[in-house]
């Protein structure tokens, strides 16, 4: 059989279409239901694998000096093996998130203030749902003894999480990890 231009064009088009990727993530109804139960019960914890600080000249200098964990860059730092969490238990939210980045003003660094830490009942707590993806978006304000934080959390049906933390004294930072139920001890 002799191939002509039409056959080659159809073959190339078919390969191109079949190799294309879909940007839409499809979640099962079971995954969406599991996420709904976690958020509704207000009983979940997030452990992050990555911290993503705002890339500044200082972070670039630290990265170039080789002071970051292996496999990390100035704007993506591995947290594997480092204690970190954000927990929601009823109306109380607590967090210990290692901070990498710059302070904007005041506060100073002491032995207890290098991580983002808070515990309490948040203000302006709001949950919204993205109907297309089934993900949940949680936002709230919370304070510790020296700082105020505005926190935005996105939880996906595959149980991945993104946390964005805006502070009154530090540059913005993001965390990426997994959400799971709080296990009884």
Task: Work out the number of other CB atoms within 10 angstroms of the CB of residue 3.
Answer: 8
Model-level pTM? Answer: 0.80
What is the mean pLDDT, run by run of 10 residues, along the chain of 185 residues?
53 51 63 93 96 84 80 87 95 95 67 82 96 94 94 97 95 96 75
| Residue with token string 């964990």 | 69
**Type and span of the H or E element at 52:** strand 43-53
Phi first, then psi, for residue 158 (nearest 5°) are -80, 10
- Residue 13 resides in a domain: no
Count of structural domains, the chain: 1
Task: Tell me, yes or no, whether 97 lies in a domain.
Answer: yes
The CATH number covering residue 95 comes to 2.40.128.410
Domain that holds residue 127: 27-181
Do the domain assignments include residue 6? Answer: no
């Amino acid at each position: 059989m002799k191939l002509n231009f039409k056959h080659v064009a159809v073959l190339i088009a078919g390969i191109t279409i079949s190799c294309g990727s879909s940007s839409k993530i499809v979640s099962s109804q079971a995954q969406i239901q599991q996420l709904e139960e976690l958020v509704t019960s207000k009983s979940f914890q997030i452990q992050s694998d990555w911290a993503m600080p705002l890339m500044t000249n200082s972070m670039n200098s630290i990265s170039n000096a080789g002071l970051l964990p292996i496999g990390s860059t100035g704007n993506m730092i591995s947290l594997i093996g480092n204690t970190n969490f954000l927990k929601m238990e009823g109306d109380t939210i607590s967090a210990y998130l290692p901070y990498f980045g710059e302070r904007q003003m005041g506060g100073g660094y002491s032995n207890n203030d290098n991580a983002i830490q808070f515990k309490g009942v948040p203000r302006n707590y709001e949950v919204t749902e993205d109907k297309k993806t089934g993900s949940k978006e949680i936002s709230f304000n919370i304070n510790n003894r020296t700082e105020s934080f505005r926190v935005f959390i996105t939880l996906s049906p595959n149980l991945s999480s993104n946390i964005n933390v805006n502070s009154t004294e530090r540059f913005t930072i993001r965390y990426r990890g997994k959400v799971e139920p709080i296990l009884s001890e």
